[in-house]
Chains A and B, each alone.
Chain A
């Protein structure tokens, strides 16, 4: 009873946002789930419950294995994008942390791409990575050609073997600054005493970073991975506006869109729910881990 009294005012204050969350997030997830187990196409309306048919069809009977192929594309994109953004983000942060002149200027330069919308940068990168080489080379290829680096010229995202990896380049350019900001905050959060203690014990710079500083950054690195990881899994606008070849660069989010265009709501809903579950699989263990850390702290 007392506990209830204790909760009352809080719940009252929270209720508007709780109701909004319930309706517009969980309500819509529930509704999408309902559509995904129906056979709702075009204007037909739902003829009722078809169980997991839409899901099994995606994995076993999708023409050209389009869905599994889009998952494969997503995996390549995510791996390359995470590796690139984490590497450059840590590198920039490390350089700035060591102290350079005009630190503010560099920080701005690295962070600036964050301010550009995905659509705008997608359009520019579309031109930069235009696959033409030789006489009518696209932006990047003509620069490489001009520098005499012809062997680096590439067909980028029309390359059948690693076109999807090329798609990650604009994403890396756009978000490594964000990862840098996270790491910088992490560096700042490490108590000065630790560094001093390490210095007193005569640790070399290498040992200091290897055994003292980097281990302290683990939670930050995990957060960064999770944040950009789930961004990557839902990536739509950037890939859409670079608009590479559909088959080579289609990811599930774009497949949802293409499916909606053909009014196949049930299939689109099924893909959405699978995507939601994939993101949940990434995020839930992280939440459990950090909650445990909080308790131990």
Chain B
């Protein structure tokens, strides 16, 4: 999910000093040495933490599970964190905007967030809606077992580039590449929904080695090319910052410029909960924007292969996919060629000239009847991947669909979380 970093926004991992007991478990557990301490506080280094979550469940207090959306330039430094007596509040949308966050991340970020204030107005007396609380931390019961951290940052492995092409229409500013990496004979098992880290070569401005950037795997478990030990990634080239000024994303440009035959340093795999269900009756609802489509492509492709082999009875697949324009939507062409009875595709374009702006949650509301049926079915699984600002709008849309269908959202939402059936991967 490196885009988030390169787009200038990070989901910064923080420790609540009021709850932390300074037991050192997190520091001892962290596989990338991102956690340090002084006599006062335990803190996380924003430039090293890769969000692998290895520290979360071992922490006895729960103080470790705190996240703040921050403009990269304003990320809390460790020096600052070491002085804290309590956690700072989340930056308000206005503060984020003032820091250039919403302007920069494209229309989607501002627009996807737009319904939220409207919702907030109508429910002003209610507690603030926290979409993240509904995200599951456990995989679906039928998910395959995921391997993680086979290659930690200290000991990356090497992969060879065997494919690299632009999967958006050429000539548009939002250029997204589909990259295929081959691991040869090195074991690198991945599942749909997992991510891997790429370590860009060279050093940063202060002479430190670049840290790894994480990307979701876009290929299914048996490889981009079935039966080969390879994976594919979906990487958007970052060429401008939030103000529209030219800037080169360190890792995205490196990856997009790779040639077939080049080698790259890879760490991972990461992620043990954003995994697809395997039982034949399971339904998958996928909601994404931009390169958040990578895990959705992986899951769709795995289901497509299963179906082709005649081994799958066919739970439903439903996709809500947002982009600025059709030309910028990764995999637009291949998506169009999937049979309608295999996947129910809903595309939202926010910047098609002459057409009104449409976002994924608008489409979800339009498809309320079908979504309600799926929400009532315990075999349905929901996956959300893309910009952070879409998360709340999407979960609110799910809540409204449930409520209008006479379901109690608190019950449904809690079940989705508990049963590993709603996964939020936003950045």
**Is B one of A's binding partners?**
no
Task: Name B's A-contacting residues (CB within 8 A).
Answer: none
